Chain A
Amino acid sequence: MKVIYHCYGGSHSSVVAAAVHLGLLPVDRVPTRDELLKLDYFDRMEREEHGSFRFIGEDESGNQVYVLGIEGLGDVLMRAFEGFARLYEVEENQYLFVDTLSQVNLKMRIGGWLSRSLGLVVIGRPLVISGTQDAFNRLAALGLGTRKKTARRQAERGAATGSTGRRSVP
């Protein structure tokens, strides 16, 4: 299954949730500034990359995890994705979109805008990092919850087809 975390620019909340899903960030505490900056795409996406899926990694269940920046068009795009999936007969269990924008706080919005939109990285980045740390628990819950949900689905599919599939330990 393809799991796609999405937010405004694909640079902050979605990257963090995806990283938690893939075990790239610790979940027993809030990550440090350096741990966040070590993530490939954290506060790195440019405007031209909005609308482009970025592959982050594969989880233990074999799900591919992506991030996507969709600006303010979440509703429009979800309808479009679902409509096109139906048109091309793509089964619903092949993909899952997870909205992380709802967990974004004011510091992340302002910091993200300063850093990505205006290019004022020196001011914006510390602000967005601080905001991300504030929001981390909720973002981590999103990532972990999604990982568990998709692991179960994968196991169910394995059982349904009679194969053992891959076992995953959430």
Chain B
Amino acid sequence: MKLFYHCYGSTHSSVAAAAIHLGLLPSDRRPEVAEIMEVPFFDQVADAEIGTPLFMGRDHEGHEILAIGTRGKPQLVLSAVEEFLGLVLGTPPGDLVFRDTLHLANIWVRVGGFLSRRVGLVFPGRRLAALGIRQSYPGLVELVQRTQGELGYGKPWSEAGGRRRQGRGDPREVAARPRGGDLRRNGL
């Protein structure tokens, strides 16, 4: 599975969510501003780079976690990307998941991000954006945990069911999927 957290510029809320997902930021407490500023790519993506998918890491389930910026038009960008892949691959990619984090970016993230990325006042802007992330932290953790739940993390594979769809899916198809759950059941 390729999981994309997306926001405006792929440099604040989306990378923070990805960091939480990967354990680079804690899920059980609010991190300090300094910890947030150490997240890879945090407040470092230039305007001219927005749109490039950023690989953040692979989680313990083996899924690739990435971030991408959509400049305020996620429906346009993400559906175009999915259609594009469908055209060149011959079939729509079945392993692509998108999660919007932009609605969790509060006013300080936006102002700080603007000051740093658009105006060039990186020193105050970056700290302000990190402070904003710190303030909206519970929402980000909740989004990540909800996403992991929807993708069937931590459950035996038989309960994980339809990873990308609402229901369980055809049992024959579910049985044919790669079974990372087997390792867990065997005590690894």
Task: Write the residues of chain A forming the contact surface with B, with a CB cutoff of 8 angstroms.
Answer: 2, 50-53, 66, 68, 70-71, 73, 75-85, 87-88, 90, 94-95
Binding stretch for chain A, among B15-23, B87-95, B107-115, B159-167: B87-95
Of A53, A78, A88, which is within 8 A of B83 by CB?
Answer: A53
A-B contact count (CB 8 A): 78
Evaluate whether A95 and B79 lie within 8 angstroms (CB atoms) in the complex, with A79-B49, A79-B51, A83-B52 already known.
no
Question: Does residue B175 face the partner (Cβ distance < 8 Å to A)?
Answer: no
Candidate in B50, B51, B77 with the most chain A CB atoms within 10 angstroms: B51
Q: Per-position contact with A for B123-167: 1 when CB-CB < 8 Å, else 0? A: 000000000000000000000000000000000000000000000
**Closest 7 interchain pairs by CB?**
A76-B51, A79-B51, A83-B53, A51-B76, A51-B80, A80-B51, A79-B52
CB atoms of B84 and A73 under 8 A apart: no
CB atoms of B88 and A94 under 8 A apart: yes
Contacts of B13 in A (CB 8 A): none
Bound-state Cα–Cα, A66 to B50, Å: 25
Residue tally, chain B, CB below 8 Å to A: 25
Contacts of A53 in B (CB 8 A): 80, 83-84, 87
Evaluate whether A75 and B88 lie within 8 angstroms (CB atoms) in the complex, with A52-B79, A70-B76 already known.
no
Candidate in A2, A82, A87 with the most chain B CB atoms within 10 angstroms: A87
CB distance from A54 to the nearest CB of B (A): 10
Bound-state Cα–Cα, A95 to B88, Å: 7
CB distance from A69 to the nearest CB of B (A): 9
Evaluate whether A52 and B80 lie within 8 angstroms (CB atoms) in the complex, with A73-B71, A83-B53, A88-B93 already known.
yes
Of B2, B76, B87, which is within 8 A of A73 by CB?
Answer: B76
